[in-house]
Chain A
């Protein structure tokens, strides 16, 4: 069964049709990518898929559940997590707390347990801390647990965003340009990290990325957006050789194809 399904979604900002008639059907452990020139509407698709924007047309299903009218936190509860193109960490909190914050909605003690610090509070806090540490260790961030998020190097901030998203225990994870601004070595790290999340943790992944080599290597299926329209889709080989895609990239966006 599909984990994330977008059924002909469109969104309009005033007169601008930012995304038109976008569809997607993502199943367990699948890795899809969305590519397209700057301003094509990729992030806008993510914002619709995570409930930040309501599509003006079409509907979204997570794990078979229709998400119409739901708030972003309900999308997360339904099993979806994401990272942001412009990093949005909780910069006033430590690395460990960033991950613990993503556990908040799965915490099982009530307001009065919290105020009076009952045994249940202590047990739950211990569980959350251990789980968060486990995740940090899995991605080699355990030594930095007491760093403040904005003191991490740029690459590790991106990594922490992925770890934090995983902490919500999602079925599908959306990555918005996880390798942006990284050098080739760092990109290799990101690739292996993404593949681990997919293969070892069994998450479905939808990734937006400008680095073509990377996309061609990891994606099983690619959707190409240009001016909000899906101009091509299919396997990496198919998309790569599609004249429409080449034209979209060369038509004023020659830079992107060189990446």
Chain B
């Protein structure tokens, strides 16, 4: 009993799934709503992935949709063109779906390594420029590659993703990120975020830690790409444009950069909100934008910045120096200045 109270997530997480599943079965939630929930799941995975780089390691990846594109196309190639999973019996389909997803993750991770290796050695914001370029280059390459449908897009991808599998991957991602953050690997990254010079002199091989986090992040983005491809069954290169990358950045920073729970809720709320507001027609975008402005002004660390769900058992707080708050004068600046004056 005591164990259960401490580890309530083993009940709560499956319960969330069962509730959504029952609502779907009883036609209270129609297919359209279920699809939105599935896409929200994909966005949650993407935002978690981005949080490992922008939140935990303090680097700036601003073209993350590029990794999602790699994952989506690689997995779709795997399940549609190489293996034609549509013609398989259901159990084989599941196995090939999982294999395709891992292939997508590995494909994205390879690109993550190739990009991270040279750029993360440098100090400064080179990663931002390179990831931005990467996202656009990948899109242009897909556009001119006939094997993946070029500019027409890739159709007829088997519908292998389901509410269940997306839910499973969301949960796996959350735990991977939690375990990462609360370990020597994650602490190394947090140290780099807080003070790279000090991290280096504390024996942390900064480029190695940064590349590890970035490759893991790319792998997770690839997984999200596979979920996306096998949910919508149609891929078009323009979907993975800079706008898409920006969406994930908005989910992350509005939700609370550095916070796993913030990334989850930010992605979920901001995916659902435009749909909920659909009855307002063109006004919904005004409301959406207005909400972001309000968050930036009144809660610069993000809606859930510095907070975590209890079940993740993570430390919280200590985030004054990241998030939108970076754009404004920091609260801590006064103390820093005072210290510097005192040290003279």
On A, residues with C-beta under 8 Å from B are 50-52, 71-73, 75-77, 81-82, 84-94, 97, 100-107, 109, 111, 114-117, 121, 124-125, 128, 148, 150, 154, 157, 164-165, 167-168, 177, 180-181
| Minimal Cβ-Cβ distance residue in B for A113 | B183
Interface residues of B in 200-227 (CB under 8 A from A): 200-206, 212
- Across-interface contacts of A111 in B (CB, < 8 A): 185, 212
Assembly CA distance A30 to B294 (angstroms): 59
Q: Is B272 among interface residues, defined by CB-CB distance under 8 A?
A: no
B200 touches A71 (CB 8 A): yes
Please judge, given known A-B contacts A73-B200, A86-B343, whether A100 and B205 are in contact too, CB under 8 Å: no
A125 to B197, CA, bound (A): 24
B179 contacts which of A117, A164, A180 (Cβ < 8 Å)? A117
Q: How far apart are B240's CB and chain A's nearest CB, in angstroms?
A: 27
* B206 and A73 within 8 A (CB): yes
Chain B's nearest CB lies how many Å from the CB of A209?
12
A48 to B212, CA, bound (A): 28
CA separation between A168 and B200, bound complex, in Å? 12
Contact among A103, A115, A150 for B335, CB-based, below 8 A: A150
Residue B199 at the A interface, CB < 8 A? yes
Query: How far is B341's CA from A177's CA once the two chains are assembled, in angstroms?
Result: 14
Contacts of A85 in B (CB 8 A): 343
Which of B197, B200, B321, B332: most chain A CB closer than 10 A? Answer: B200
Complex-state Cα separation, A177 to B198, whole angstroms: 16
Closest 3 CB pairs of A and B: A181-B342, A76-B203, A105-B203
Which among A101, A115, A124, A148 is the interface contact of B187 at CB below 8 angstroms? A101
Chosen A-B contacts, 24 in total, with CB atoms closer than 8 Å, are A51-B201, A52-B200, A71-B200, A72-B201, A73-B206, A76-B201, A81-B202, A84-B198, A86-B343, A89-B198, A90-B199, A91-B195, A91-B321, A92-B320, A93-B194, A94-B315, A97-B187, A101-B199, A102-B203, A105-B188, A121-B183, A125-B183, A154-B338, A180-B343
Find chain A residues with CB under 8 A from B343 CB: 85-87, 177, 180-181
CB distance B202 to A76 under 8 Å?
A: yes
- Taking CB atoms, residues of chain A closer than 8 Å to B319 are 92
In contact, B183 and A168 (Cβ under 8 angstroms): no
Q: Are A104 and B204 in contact (CB under 8 A)?
A: yes
Q: A114 with B184: in contact, given A105-B205, A168-B202, A168-B203 (CB under 8 Å)?
A: yes
Are the CB atoms of A97 and B203 closer together than 8 Å?
A: no
Interface secondary structure of B, over-half rule? helix
- Bound state CA distance, A200 and B264, in angstroms? 49
**Which residues in B have their C-beta under 8 angstroms from that of A94?**
315, 318
Nearest A residue (CB) for B198: A88
B190 sits at the interface (CB 8 A): yes
Contact of A114 among B185, B190, B342, B344 (CB under 8 A): B185
Determine how close the nearest CB of chain B comes to the CB of A213; give it in whole angstroms: 18
Q: A111-B212, A114-B185, A150-B332 are in contact. Are A93 and B200 (CB under 8 A)?
A: no
Q: Chain B contacts of A101 at CB under 8 A? A: 187-188, 190-191, 199, 202, 204
Interface size class of B (residues with CB under 8 A): 35 or more
Interface centre among A50, A52, A150, A165 (most CB of B within 10 A): A150
Q: Which residues of B contact A50 (CB under 8 A)?
A: 201
Apart from A90-B191, A181-B344, list 19 A-B contacts with CB within 8 A: A50-B201, A52-B200, A72-B197, A73-B203, A73-B204, A75-B201, A76-B202, A77-B203, A85-B343, A86-B343, A91-B318, A92-B318, A93-B318, A101-B188, A101-B190, A103-B184, A104-B188, A104-B202, A124-B184
> Quick check: is B340 within 8 A (CB to CB) of the other chain?
yes
The chain A residue sitting closest to B191, CB to CB, is A101
Instruction: Identify the interface centre among A73, A94, A100: most chain B CB within 10 Å of its CB.
Output: A73
Complex CA gap A116/B183 in Å reads 11
Does chain A have a CB within 8 A of B154?
no
Query: Which chain A positions have C-beta within 8 A of B193?
Result: 92
What sequence of 0s and 1s flags, for each residue 304-344 of chain B, a beta carbon within 8 Å of any chain A beta carbon? 00000000000101111110000000001001001111111
Binary flags per residue of B24-51, CB closer than 8 Å to A gives 1, else 0: 0000000000000000000000000000
Question: Complex Cα distance A103/B199, Å?
Answer: 11
B126 at interface, CB cutoff 8 A:
no
On chain A, the residues within 8 Å of B205 by CB distance are 71, 73, 105
B137 close to chain A: CB less than 8 A: no
Q: Taking the complex as formed, is B293 at the interface, i.e. its CB lies under 8 A from any CB of chain A? A: no
Complex Cα distance, B191 from A223, in Å, reads 33
Tell yes or no: B180 within 8 A of A by CB. yes
User: In the complex, what's the smallest C-beta–C-beta distance from A67 to chain B, in angstroms?
Assistant: 13
Q: Please measure, in the bound complex, the distance between the C-alpha atom of A87 and the C-alpha atom of B198, giving whole angstroms.
A: 9
In the assembly, what is the distance between CA of A86 and CA of B342, in Å? 10
B332 contacts A91, C-beta separation under 8 Å = yes
Chain A residue with the shortest CB-CB distance to B335:
A150
Tell me, in angstroms, the Cα distance from A3 to B335 when the chains sit together: 37
- Point out the residue from B179, B203, B322 that lies within 8 Å of A92, measured CB to CB: B322
Closest to A97 in B: B187
Cβ contacts B165-195/A at 8 Å (1 or 0 each): 0000000000010011001110110110111
Cα–Cα, bound, A116→B175 (Å):
9
